[in-house]
Structures are given as structure tokens and as C-alpha cells.
Amino acid sequence: MQQAVYRILDANLDRAREGLRIIEEWCRFGLNNTDLTEECKKIRQELAQLHTAEIRQARNTPEDVGTDLSHPQEETRISIEALLQANICRVQEALRVLEEYGKLYQTQMGVICKQIRYRVYAIESYLLNQSHLQLLEDSHLYLVTSPTEDLLDAVEAALQGGLTLVQYRDKEIDDNIRLAKAEQLCQLCHQYGALFIVNDRVDIAQAVDADGVHLGQQDIPIELAREVLGFQKIIGRSTTNPDEMAAAIAQGADYIGVGPVYATPTKPDKKPAGLEYLKYAAANCPIPWYAIGGIDVSNLHEVLSTGATRVAVVRAIMQADNPRSVVRHFIAQL
């Protein structure tokens, strides 16, 4: 029994240290973050001190029945986010095993591994938030869906064109159907490494583990949405004038919509904000912002001439015969 415990400790100490090294490399070379890099390295060194000679000597790789076990999800990584999440989970699971079996070896090992596990939780929160925000920063085209029978096909075609940011918007549909559609779209977007945002509904965003929610001016406060969803999720806000922009930024929005630029059936009750508001945003908005409202390939150049670098579109993609081609055109222009 003692040898079995030693083998368990050996395997999980290796697993935790290997996973941490993968995370550390991204913190160092991907984020250029000294503090996170040092924290990962420090944890690895603390675990190395627990990896005693008697634990290592119990290793018996030829008779380890788990060396040939694998899972299809372990064979591919669709994005940096997926890679980091997989290795964070690997480290956390290993630490939990070490915490329990370590009690059979040394009482202090269990205590140390428990404390380290909570430190890894803090690293996870920061990394996931950073990776989401970085992908948002890099996403210059934002698709806002409209109700259509071929919704999934249209969105997938757009994703195949290189789209990395999708918002699911359907204000009229039954909640059960809305929830089912949101689940399908969330899985589809994550399959392509894209962010998935739910319009208005914080509850549905939480239920399907969306990457965030987009709130209108009449929706719940950003602070409340943040309390429900947590700091790892993205929260956007629609704005139609400088005052609304200032309020959204002060309340902690991760991005804002700026518009509507032109008259649009999506917002029939909204007077167009026009190009002047885009010029104001270009000069004054410190967070990512998306020009929205009636934008298509025919007026995109006019929008970009104001200093806008990101646009959100609905009909130009959702009603296109070839969404993939339209997305590629937009991305090339942006």
C-alpha cells in the first residue's frame, strides 16, 4: 500500500509540475507577465521540494497501466485558451490528489498542496480573463445574429471566414428555444476558438457558460451583471451618445457599441447617431468599441474614415448568400 501511495504522489507531482511549466511559458512569452511567470516558477519549485527521493524511487513506468490511456480531446488544442484551460485543470486535479494522498505520507504535504491549489485558482482567474480580453481586442469584426431558419449554418460559415466574435440576439423567441439555440451556438463558437456573447440575458449567458453578455441601456446595471457572471466574463454595453459612453466606461464595461451609425430595422426606434459620434469615440474611448447600425460593404469605407477600427454587423452577414466570403471581405478591409 505504501508503494502505491508513493507512485500516486510521484505521478501527480510530475503532472502538476509539467502543467505549470506549460502555463508558465505562456505567461512568460505570450503575456510578458513577470509576476505570473515568477509565481508559476515558485510553485514548481515548492512542488519539487516535495518530490523526495523515496517518492521518485517508487516509480514503475513499465507496469503503469495508465501510460497508454488517452482521450481524443487531449490530441488537439483549438486555441491558446483551450490549451491553458486544459493544463490548469490538469494542475488542479493533480493538486487535489496530492492534498488527499499526501496526508498518508506527511501531514504537511496535504496542507501545502491545498494552499497551492488556491494560488492556482487565482492564476486561472487572471489567465482566462486576459485571454478573453485579448481575443476581444483582436476581434475587429463582430457578428450580431438575427432570427433565421439557417442560423447555425450562417454562423458557422462566418466562423469559417475567420470571424472570432459572435453575439446571439433574438428578442422574440420562446425562452426554451432561446436557451437551446444559445447552447448550440456557444459550442459552435468555441469549436472555432471564437468568443460567444449573449444579448441582454445574463441568466442565459450564465446557463450556457457564454463568454459574456451584451447589455442595452435599459438592461440591468453592469455591476450586477458582473456580480452574477464574475470577472472572467466579458460585458458590453450599447451607447448612443458621449454621456452613455462615459457611464459605460465608468461602470466597468469591457467594450461598447457605438451607434446606430445609420438607420436600421434592427433598431427602428433609435435615431441614427451618425458619423460624428464615431469621430468622438475614436478620439475619446479607451476601451474597444464597435461601430454598429446599418453598416455593410457599401458604407464601410465611410465608417473607417472616422477613425473606427471595429464594426458590428447584422444583415450584411446574416442575409448574405455567402457569409464566409463577406466576412473575409470585411476582415481584409478592417
Q: State pLDDT tens for residues 108-159.
A: 999 999 999 999 998 988 887 777 888 999 999 999 999 999 999 999 999 9
- Tell me the per-residue pLDDT of 32-81, one tens digit each, with 9 for 90 and over: 889 999 999 999 999 999 999 999 998 877 777 666 655 555 566 667 77
- The catalytically annotated residue of 178, 238, 310, 324 is 238
Q: What is the pLDDT of residues 273-329, one digit of tens each?
A: 999 999 999 999 999 999 999 999 999 999 999 999 999 999 999 999 999 999 999
Q: Which of 7, 117, 169, 178 is catalytic?
A: 169
Q: Is 271 annotated in the active site?
A: no
Mean pLDDT throughout 261-267? 82
Active-site residue among 7, 178, 267, 310? 267
Specify the pLDDT at position 72.
55
For the segment 25-29, the average pLDDT, to the nearest whole number, is 92
Angle value at C-alpha 285, between 279 and 288, nearest 5 degrees: 105
Residue 174 has pLDDT above 90, yes or no: yes
User: Is 238 one of the catalytic residues?
Assistant: yes
Q: What confidence score (pLDDT) does residue 127 get?
A: 84
Residue 169 among the catalytic residues: yes
The fold of 139-333 is: TIM Barrel (3.20.20)
Angle at 252 between CA 249 and CA 256, to 5 degrees: 50
User: Model's pTM, two decimal places?
Assistant: 0.70
Q: Where are the domains of the chain?
A: 2-62+74-134, 139-333
229: cell is 457572471
Euclidean distance between CA atoms 329 and 316, whole angstroms: 11
Q: What is the C-alpha to C-alpha distance for residues 26 and 31, in angstroms, rounded to an integer?
A: 6
